[in-house]
Structure 1
Amino acid sequence: MEQYDQLYRLYETVDTETLRAYQEFVDLFPPLSSPIALDQWETARDELDERKADIAEEFPATGETYAEIAARLTREEAFAALDLFSKYDRAVNVLVLDVDETLRSAGDTDNEIPRDTLYLLTEFHERGIPIVVCTGQTLENVKGFLIQGLGNEVVSSGSVSIVYESGNGVFTPNHGPDTKRLLYERLDGVVVDVFDAVRGRALSEAPDDVRHGCHLQGNEFNVTLKPNAEVGSETAVEIVDEALCYLCGLVGESVAEATGADVTDPAGVAQTFFAKDPEIRAVLEEAGRSTDADVAGAPSAMLDVLERIDIGYYEGDAAELVSLELAKPTGVEEAFDVLGIDDPFALVMGDSKSDLRVMEWLAETDAGLAAAPDHASKAVLDHVRARDDLVYEAGQSSSVLHIVYGLELLARLDERRS
């Protein structure tokens, strides 16, 4: 209770709102070449240092840590961090972060990672906490915006790993032969044959609306159909829905051919199989596609392959073919291996079912925290709320990072005391 009492006194007696404003100014608006701007920055830094020094005097033994907490965390964030420390008695030692609609949002952050989020990530890096970026995007795309946001020195430091294409590959600079692990090379030949066939036919045999309205994302392995229209627009929703219907059928035909299965309606079997996902079922039924084929009666060789792959549907954004054997948890586990993380306690931030798999994988061994934006899928939100309720508003990913930063400060304080 002592910690709770001291935090309560801290936020009751200190003007933490003004303190955070000074800290944010000093962090996000560093000295510039302009003498006037430099003078303003130095004045703010001096005021910040004085206010922190006052806190350090007011709280013997814990003052410096409490000053840092007060300068960066709101009252709610600080008590959330203390609750987590009381529950888990340890700090997060690795960050596992999705990007799109998690760190950044097309609707709330202009599809850029906010500056305060980037700053916090560099702070975690400075404190020796590895960062695993786990995304469905291509490697080149991820490398580009990470270098732009965090700088090449951080990205190439050896403590940043990129799990790309939802687990098809892992890129961890400065790790010699383990710098790039191509996980899709480990798949059975028949699965690779299906992906090759679908990739080769995805646009060439597509209906006119799909062929002219979509493009293939430049993946190394996954087959992802993206709309040419603005993501989330009415046109994009329509074209992605049509692309999903087409992709389900194409996958069924390709699996039947690769396995030599004698099936009258392979497209119908695949549609019914993937209609286990309620969102996919709704799209297929709206389009009048069959979802009642006799899946149980399909050849076992065909079912074996179908059970090892998946169709991803993201309304107005993408329809894609992925391997369940190369889901995000597989990639994250590989990243941990390269980074040398034997006893992970991770923060996992994500919004989709592929992120949920990582959250569930770590939850099995109580090896981390899960966080999600409030617009995440229902299944993700149900999981996150049941764990620690780390749900944040769109575009406010820094709020969870602040909590985890506070958790790390409290854990270090506890280590010094013991």
Structure 2
Amino acid sequence: MQRHDRLYALYDDFDADALRAHQDFVDLFPPVDSRVALEYWESASEELADRKDEIRAAFPDDPAFAAVAARATRDQAFTALDLLGKYDRAVNVLVLDVDETLRSAGSTDNEIPRATLHLLTEFHEAGIPIVICTGQTLENVKGFLSQGLGNELVHSGDLSVVYEAGTGVFTPGHGPDTKQLLYEDLDESVRSVFDEVRSRVLPSAPDDVRRGCHLQGNEFNVTLKPNYETGSERARGLIDDALVHLLDLLADCLDADAEAVRAYYADADPEIAGVLDSEGVAAGNPDAVSDDLRATLDRVDVAYYEADAAEIASRELNKVVGVEAALDVLDVDDPFALVMGDSKSDLRVMEYVHEHDAGVAAAPEHASGRVLDHVQSTDDLVFDEGAADEVLRTVWALERLA
């Protein structure tokens, strides 16, 4: 019997839904000081073990089937088996965005769900390193990771944080390599531009931007965030205004024509072009941008996240560069990564692993259009908003089957 047929038999002959319910209960049962509750948990654990033993006895040639059925649905298990047939290897590192990926303002109240956190601990215990890859500041990330995953995992030496979209890498437990400030490798001509933009970005801003936005506490990137709720109409209008302000300020700091700078970034990013058009702000002809100006702008990235942030960052420092540095510290020399994300900065990592045959990509259903296009055209690992565990369960099954 082929493995696909045996997997069909597994889900046809056994109540996998009940098995998963028992596994989730045992995994996620909150610690309570109650003898009755503890006895209930022990009873569920014994029932779970008995059900797994029945599956192992029925499929002696597939000892992983019990673990697969306990965490993966039928569809997730078959997706895992298809991925194994396509790539002939398991994922050996997780590269995970946080906001609107592991957690969602819309459906998880900006908390990483317990099911997702528990699965991450399971991957950790299976020896799979975790790279948290985010645009957030390091201090923000350290706080919720320690609270959600625990200090022991965070400081295990097998977790790395790529923060501020690749300007730095933090890998606790690695001595002098624990914190790498990648922006220090940039030459002074670029760093000085960021220093000037940062010093002037709020004092020179229009009244609505200065009063309605705040400067995120980055080490290097210059990021304007709305004071209003992310995703709201007020936030959308403010970030559109902030984007125009950043473009014009960058032009002023470079002593360049504002229309030329706008034209350069509008030509590179349709979303930026759309904002400029809706704001009624003129952009020049991108072909008229001088070679000298283009050489500088090629090193400076302007990013727009609708109703969320407007940002100036270094093109030489992005999530790909950060992930490469993290993998080097974690000693992952032949990566096959699960990359999960929702934005353009995550897309770069997805495209990188695809081009190097070094992993698979997954995204939430509300990800940006270009991210969804990439994910759907590769392995179609699209998950519901706030339900990152759907893909983690699939990859867990892939790891077990491999």
Regarding TM over 0.5, the answer is yes
| Residues 15-414 of structure 1: pairs in structure 2 closer than 5 A | 15-30=15-30, 32-62=32-62, 64-256=63-255, 263=256, 266-276=257-267, 277-291=269-283, 293-411=284-402
Aligned equivalents of 1:333 and 1:87: distance in 2? 24
Q: Answer whether contact 1:240 1:316 (CA < 8 A) is retained.
A: yes
Give SS of 2:248's match: helix
User: Which sections of structure 1, spanning at least 5 residues, go unmatched?
Assistant: 257-262, 412-418
Aligned partner letter, 1:318: A
User: Who is 1:416 aligned against?
Assistant: none
TM-score normalised to the size of structure 1?
Answer: 0.94
Alpha-carbon distance, 1:298 to partner: 3.8
Give SS of 1:304's match: helix
Q: Answer whether contact 1:198 1:254 (CA < 8 A) is retained.
A: yes
Deviations 1:332-384 (A, max 9, x none): 00001111111000000001111000011111111100000011111111111
* Segment of structure 1 superposing worse, 299-308 or 144-153: 299-308
Alpha-carbon distance, 1:295 to partner: 3.9
Aligned partner letter, 1:128: G
User: Which sections of structure 2, spanning at least 5 residues, go unmatched?
Assistant: none
Q: Answer whether contact 2:264 2:289 (CA < 8 A) is retained.
A: no
Alpha-carbon distance, 1:110 to partner: 0.6
Deviations 1:140-176 (A, max 9, x none): 0011111011001100111100000000000001111
Q: Answer whether contact 1:336 1:342 (CA < 8 A) is retained.
A: yes
Give SS of 1:326's match: coil
Aligned partner letter, 1:361: Y
Aligned equivalents of 1:388 and 1:299: distance in 2? 41
Aligned equivalents of 1:241 and 1:156: distance in 2? 39
**How many equivalent residue pairs?**
401
Aligned equivalents of 1:4 and 1:298: distance in 2? 57
Q: Answer whether contact 2:260 2:288 (CA < 8 A) is retained.
A: no
Aligned partner letter, 1:20: R
CA RMSD, Structure 1 to Structure 2 (Å): 1.1
* Segment of structure 1 superposing worse, 279-288 or 161-170: 279-288
Deviations 1:5-63 (A, max 9, x none): 1100000010111111000000000553201111111111111111111111111232x
Aligned equivalents of 2:161 and 2:204: distance in 1? 33
Q: Answer whether contact 1:226 1:317 (CA < 8 A) is retained.
A: yes
Aligned equivalents of 1:18 and 1:238: distance in 2? 48
User: How many percent identity over aligned positions?
Assistant: 61
Give SS of 2:95's match: strand
Q: Answer whether contact 1:224 1:321 (CA < 8 A) is retained.
A: yes
Aligned equivalents of 2:359 and 2:31: distance in 1? 37
Alpha-carbon distance, 1:294 to partner: 4.1
